[in-house]
Amino acid sequence: MKNLVILGSTGSIGVNALKAVRNLGKGWRVLGLAANSNLKALREQARAVKPAYISVFDYAAWKELKASPPRGAKVLSPGVEGLVELSSLKEADIVLNAVTGAAGFAPLLAAIRASKHIALANKEPMVMAGELLMKEAHRWQARIIPVDSEPSAIFQCLAAIKPGAYDAALSRVFLTASGGPFYARKGTLAGVTPAQALRHPRWTMGPKITVDSATLMNKGLEAIEIKNLFSLPVSKIEILIHPQSVVHSGVEFRDGSVLAQLSNPDMKLPIQYALTWPDRAPSLAAPLDLFRLARLDFFKPDFRRFPCLELALYAAKKGGIYPAALNAANEVAVEKFIAGRLRFTDIPAVVEKTLAACRGDSRETLTLAGAVEADGWARQKAAATADGIKKR
Ligand code: NDP
Ligand code: MG
């Protein structure tokens, strides 16, 4: 029996994960569920899968949940403590971290230190301090299996070679991006509305990552995540716009051989693989019909129109606290854009100003605490910058 904890069960990844678990059927048990504040969805999920443990981050929601807990479920602490308690439950075999943003940092670290099999969708902590988290995973013999389709594709391709020697074996990594809703759009992007940015052409995802896909920041975050997950230099990562979203990413080995992972764009597949790894099981994703597909296009990204991508690669090269600052500033700017308080093109402006204010030697040795501190500092800086822009 595999006991699974899902952090962020009411979100896009969480809901698909529950479908994947239902598909896997016998031998799988949902041990714990956590969300931020969506009690209605969480209660429905609890009725369906009967978790032994449950928690919500938001205090008001937690009080309500505590007052009438779902039958058979123990309500753990509110806030980050509840997420940490769930991640380190003794009975848990697999922890799926599918919360959004830096909120997933502490629970990811807890799951690592509890030596869990971790299915990781929450890319932001891997951007903040991925190298250190991987070291920690090594130390505690925790397994981090990426859920995100591109890192998952690369992870699957790397199964063809001996683990640990990826840099020596690879000449390039092909990181693909759908391009988001504005890739082919002409003219300025300043007037883009949140509703337009939230309409992704290929994937149905949570609001934050959908906006990140529209600015291409998502690809920058993934480049940093991949660099850290597989210990690769950013210079080997080649980003390609691939509107069909069928080639989820690939690698080129030193001998020139290229491996890529292809499938229809359906997150249920990489989610399920991250749960069943190293095994595979039939999935709910429709099989790929290459005859119907007929063609695959690849374009170079336009760094000038999508400055977030350039900023992310810059932060990756600088290292130290820069990626954590990039991520935090982006989270703040995206939230304000969705709330109608910033323009689309203000997102990179806020990120750029925050990075420009980063003090300290970027090569200084980053610590896990330092990354969290940089996250807090960058949030304040980004919020102040955003307020300045709004007043203009
Ligand atoms: P959603 O916004 O759809 O869902 C986020 C989930 O996390 C919800 O269950 C939400 O609860 C919960 N949550 C948010 N903050 C907290 C918190 N502080 N404590 C506890 N729970 C919290 O996001 P997605 O599912 O789209 O994305 C999740 C992560 O996966 C992100 O890091 C994203 O980058 C990554 N990812 C997503 C993909 C996708 O296809 N969606 C693809 C690849 C990666 P509530 O409902 O109560 O707000
Ligand atoms: Mg992705």
Best residue among 83, 205, 217 to mutate for probing ligand 1, ranked by most atoms within 8 Å of CB: 205
DSSP category for residue 24: H
Q: Residue range 163-181: average pLDDT?
A: 93
Cα(248) to centroid of ligand 2, in Å?
8
252 bridge partner residues? 172, 258
Residues of 197-218 as b/e, b for ≥16 C-beta within 10 angstroms?
A: bbebebbebbbbbbbbbbbbbb
**Ligand with the closest atom to the CA of 61:** 1
Domain ranges in the chain?
A: 2-146
Q: Do residues 183 and 199 lie in contact, with contact meaning Cβ atoms separated by under 8 Å?
A: no
pLDDT recorded at residue 361: 62
Q: What is the mean pLDDT of the chain?
A: 96
Percent of the chain scoring above 70 in pLDDT: 98
DSSP letters for 255-279: TS-EEEEE--S-THHHHHHHHHTTS
pLDDT digits (tens, 9 = 90+) for 257-312: 999 999 999 999 999 999 999 999 999 999 999 999 989 999 999 999 999 999 99
Token code pair at residue 369: 């605490």
Is the shortest distance between the CB of 11 and ligand 1 below 6 Å? yes
Distance CA 151, CA 153 (A): 5
Q: Which two tokens stand for residue 84?
A: 């940490």
| Architecture, CATH, for domain 2-146 | 3-Layer(aba) Sandwich (3.40)
- Which amino acid, one-letter code, is at 133? L
| Prediction pTM value | 0.97
Cα–Cα distance for residue pair 161/122, rounded to 1 Å:
26
Alpha-carbon distance values, 45 to 6, 9, 22, 71 (Å): 11, 8, 12, 12
State the DSSP H helix or E strand holding residue 129, giving kind and residue range, or none if neither: helix 124-140
Residue 332: is its pLDDT beyond 80? yes
Ligand 1 contacts CB of residue 197 (under 6 A): no
Q: Tens of pLDDT along 87-108?
A: 999 999 999 999 999 999 999 9
At residue 368, the pLDDT reads: 97
Please tell me if the CB atom of residue 99 comes closer than 6 angstroms to any atom of ligand 1.
yes
Q: Does residue 391 surpass a pLDDT of 80?
A: no
Query: Which ligand lies nearest the alpha carbon of 35?
Result: 1
The sheet carrying 143-146 orders its strands as: 74-75, 53-56, 28-35, 2-7, 94-97, 117-120, 143-146
Encoding tokens for residue 180?
């988001």
Dig out the tokens for 15 from the structure: 């809901």
| Tens-place pLDDT, residues 336-384 | 999 999 999 999 999 999 999 997 666 678 999 999 999 999 999 999 9
pLDDT per position as a tens digit, 214-263: 999 999 999 999 999 999 999 999 999 999 999 999 999 999 999 999 99
| Ligand 1 neighbour 156 (Cβ under 6 A) | no
Across the strands, what pairs with 250?
Answer: 174, 260
pLDDT higher than threshold 90 for residue 330: yes
Tell the residue nearest (CA) to atom 2 of ligand 1.
206
Q: How distant, in Å, are the alpha carbons of 13, 70, 177 from that of 213?
A: 16, 36, 8
> Best of 9, 12, 30, 200 to mutate for ligand 1, by most ligand atoms within 8 A of CB?
12
